[in-house]
A and B are shown apart, each in its own frame.
Chain A
Amino acid sequence: MHSNSAAAVGTSNAFHVEKGNYYYGSVLAVRDVFLEIPEKKITAFIGPSGCGKSTVLRCFNRLNDLIPSARVEGKITYRGVDIYDKSVDATELRRRIGMVFQKPNPFPKSIYENVAYGARINGYKGDMDVLVERALRGSALWDEVKDKLKDSGLSISGGQQQRLCIARAIAIEPEVLLMDEPCSALDPISTLRVEELMQELKKHYTIIIVTHNMQQASRVSDMTAFYNAQATDKGGKMGYLVEYAPTQTIFNNPSQVATQDYVSGRFG
């Protein structure tokens, strides 16, 4: 796990996770995570449900802070800075690290206001119309909605809503995009559009995607982390990182048997 993954894909590291342990209350949900997330690449988290891949993802923008019982041990750095350090402000961190969720969750506002919201609260000083258009073009939605920017964000289709959420995230000009199963609520055609979009986005952003869909991971990602879950004696599940390597290696020549079984569809 200590192999320099960034070197493997030829770039520097954005995130570095060292011995990450994640708790809900006193329950250890995920243990012993070591990761190095390369800049401007797509890193996929795969694994069966309950393995904690979303939990790990939500630590990168400290969204787990919102759950009172959630707690993180170990060290997570972004560009060398410990993001759980007292001097780092979670609100500012989240401005720099965007996120797209499992289900499209547009705000009950117009399409325009959905995109402009994050920029507005974060004191964007540039031209808002330009920013909104740039974000909507960036998420390949502009042509479909340019004539109805005043319509409710909930009035468009599910696939469009998800691209609206991507536009919303890139409108605050983040450096990283976290995507938590962004296609699980979409039909195959919308899924394909989002995947194509990700290939465009990775020119500018570091992307981490959680996915249930192994084909998706193998299609879009450069690096893949495979998590697994083990039953605990209390009847719950505890997740752990099994293997982290370039996607090619994970799918063609994994070093762990569990990984081999999972990617070949023998379980999960």
Chain B
Amino acid sequence: MTDSYLPPEHSSANLWQPNRVASKRSQAIVKFIFGSFAVLSIFTTLGIVATLIVETIKFFSQVSLVQFLFDNQWTPLFSEPHYGIFVLISATFLTSLIALLVAVPLGLLAAVCLSEYAPRNVRAWLKPALEILAGVPTVVFGFFALLIVTPILKTFIPGLQTFNGLSAGLILGIALLPTIASLSEDAIFAVPQDLRQGSYALGATKRETVTDVVLPAALSGIVAAIILGVARAVGETMIVTLAAGQNPTLTLDPRVPIQTMTSFIVQVAGGDVPVGTLKYDTLFAVGMTLFVITLLLNILSFWFVRKFQEKYE
């Protein structure tokens, strides 16, 4: 205790011999180790960005940006390759759109039901059940879409092919439903009870209270949940790979085989492409496009939450 500037202690001071130097040293070591762990997450991001940029630059040294953006064919594996990314983007757009048309209304209504209509004891088991279902692997949903849903849909939708955007989108929507419902329910449930009572006290019915007061108050959380759903839909791989096919076509017809950005990556990466070839670089150029789209969605979500979050005590 030589470095202490406190006045001398009472007489039994010699019984107390804390090893302050050792405690401080172990704290410094722990802090350093944990701090470097935190740095690792930054390196992960840098690693992703660097990986994508390096290979994408190689890609664009051989393929012009104009062709990438404006060609209407995507045939990188052919002897006469075309690289029109919008062919893949249109497929991603189609499956995501169908998925969101299913997941957003159903998810929101389910969230309202759980938070506002379901009795507390029903909610107590329904919500964990929903969360478990959110953990069903997408490859299982893909199996379901291709081998069970498509045959059923074929019986009443003429012209539906074995691989199609429709059942991929529908099942993708079902797969997203628990996530959107659970996150929106968190936001809706967190709206202070005061606000509901204020509305009832004005002679509002339950539906009016929910749609006019509670949902607007939870808006930022709901929108964040939906944007996350969009990002998931865009980046989801297995359902669209299995059920929508591997057929790059520029179309919005939900009945025919298409190829999304993610299923292209699976198709090429699963085929053991030699490193350093243009095909290999194409993988990363598509990955880069996907990354930029999800990054923009994430920024949008941040902006929205910050701008529209209502502050309640």
Contacts and interface: CB of A to CB of B under 8 A. Distances in A.
Interface of A: 61, 63, 66, 68, 91-96, 98-99, 101, 103, 105-109, 117-118, 121-122, 152, 154, 165, 168-169, 172, 178
A94 B197 CA distance: 11
Given A103-B194, A105-B192, A61 B216 contact: no
Given A66-B197, A108-B217, A172 B311 contact: no
B202 A169 contact: yes
Question: Is chain B's binding surface mostly helix, strand, loop or mixed?
Answer: helix
Contacts, number: 77
A105 B209 CA distance: 14
Nearest to B208: A121
Interface string B197-212: 1111111110010001
B310 interface: yes
A154 B198 CA distance: 14
B153 to A, nearest CB: 41
Contacts of B256: none
Query: Which A-B residue pairs are the 4 nearest by beta carbons?
Result: A95-B203, A118-B202, A99-B201, A105-B194
B119 A101 contact: no
B219 interface: yes
B203 A107 contact: no
Contact of A98 (B119, B201, B311): B201
Interface residues of B, number: 23
A98 B202 contact: yes
A103 B196 CA distance: 13
Given A92-B203, A95-B203, A121 B212 contact: yes
A66 B313 contact: no
Contacts of A66: 196-197, 200
Contacts of B313: 103
A122 B198 contact: no
A117 B212 contact: yes
B200 A168 contact: no
Contact of B310 (A63, A91, A95, A154): A154
Contacts of B119: 68
A66 B210 CA distance: 14
A95 B197 contact: no
5 contacts: A92-B203, A109-B216, A117-B204, A154-B311, A172-B203
Contacts of A101: 194, 197-198, 201
B205 A91 contact: yes
Contacts of A106: 198
A124 to B, nearest CB: 11
A108 B310 contact: yes
Contacts of A98: 201-202
B213 interface: yes
Contacts of A121: 202-205, 208, 212
Contacts of B299: none
Given A66-B196, A107-B217, 18 more contacts: A91-B203, A91-B205, A95-B203, A99-B197, A99-B201, A101-B194, A101-B198, A101-B201, A105-B192, A107-B195, A107-B198, A107-B199, A107-B216, A108-B216, A108-B310, A117-B212, A121-B203, A152-B310
Contacts of A107: 195, 198-199, 212-213, 216-217
